[in-house]
Chains A and B, each alone.
Chain A
Amino acid sequence: MGDLSWKDFLSQAKQFLETSQKLGDNWMLEQKDSNEPNTYLKYSQKIKCQGGKDNSAEFVNVEYHVVFSVSYQVPMLVFQAHRSDGSLLDLEAIWRLFMPESKASDLHQILTQMDHPVLFRPFMALHPCRTAEVLKQFGKPSCNQVLTFISLYGPHVQLHLQNAYGLSQDFT
């Protein structure tokens, strides 16, 4: 276990969305068409970022997508961040914003730009190669691996879920 099929991803993403609606935190499900893997979860938020042109604080709008990786058969977190003037943050700026302590050599294995599997545009992506392994370590297989995945990997890019997400696991 650890990896999951497209069907599982889809049903768990919908479960996740129901939980979100109960908690009222504005996750959305985007569906391009009904083919694999053209449905993904979407969430956006503003993040305060220290490092504008003269080191002043600025707000960055980040849009997160939780997509299904066909090659790895796991959920994958991709995102795009832009400033209030509309300009996109490049990879260096993203690294500075989210992972200021990591070494550059490591960063290439963690977060780089990749093709969005549904939109076919370049997005920042957290690498999925260890995801299945990590999910497998969770004692009994988690009853919603999409939720587990988001709660595990989201914090790396300041995507935090409310504690109450952990409670609503009575769906079977």
Chain B
Amino acid sequence: MAETLESQAALSTSSSTPADKDGSKICILLNATGNVPIIKKRTWTVDPNKTVSWIQKFIHKFLKLDASEQIFLYVNQTFAPAPDQIIKNLYECHGTNGKLVLYYCKNQAWG
């Protein structure tokens, strides 16, 4: 499952071919916090039009988490962007030194 996701995913190594028209993928840095497993590869490049929830789903699948657990994504230690927000907008607002630093953690949200 994870493999198929990765092959069709736009999250890929920086050296991948720029398939999209503008060729400008955004570089993101993923940091684990709390009790969530780390992902060894921290730097990823992402299609600027992907949404925050898409990245959440990607991490969820990548870490093979239980369905009841949810990935939370946030910037600046404080702010969790809306799930339908696209990475491009987020980068324009919160990107530093050509990178968008994202933190993620997991928890059960309800119940």
Contacts and interface: CB of A to CB of B under 8 A. Distances in A.
Contact of A166 (B34, B94, B108): B94
9 closest cross-chain pairs (CB), A and B: A166-B79, A137-B34, A139-B33, A137-B105, A109-B111, A163-B93, A151-B80, A160-B82, A142-B78
Contacts of A142: 77-78
Nearest to A127: B110
20 contacts: A106-B110, A106-B111, A127-B111, A130-B108, A130-B111, A137-B72, A137-B107, A138-B74, A139-B34, A139-B105, A140-B77, A142-B78, A148-B78, A151-B78, A152-B74, A155-B83, A160-B85, A163-B79, A163-B94, A166-B94
B72 to A, nearest CB: 6
Interface string B52-72: 000000000000000000001
Contact of B77 (A109, A164, A165, A169): A169
Nearest to A151: B80
A136 interface: yes
Interface of A: 106, 109-110, 127, 129-130, 133-134, 136-140, 142-144, 147-148, 151-152, 154-155, 160-161, 163-167, 169
- Of B85, B90, B109, chain A has the most CB atoms within 10 Å of the CB of B109
B10 interface: no
B109 A169 contact: no
B79 A134 contact: no
Given A130-B109, A130-B110, A163 B77 contact: no
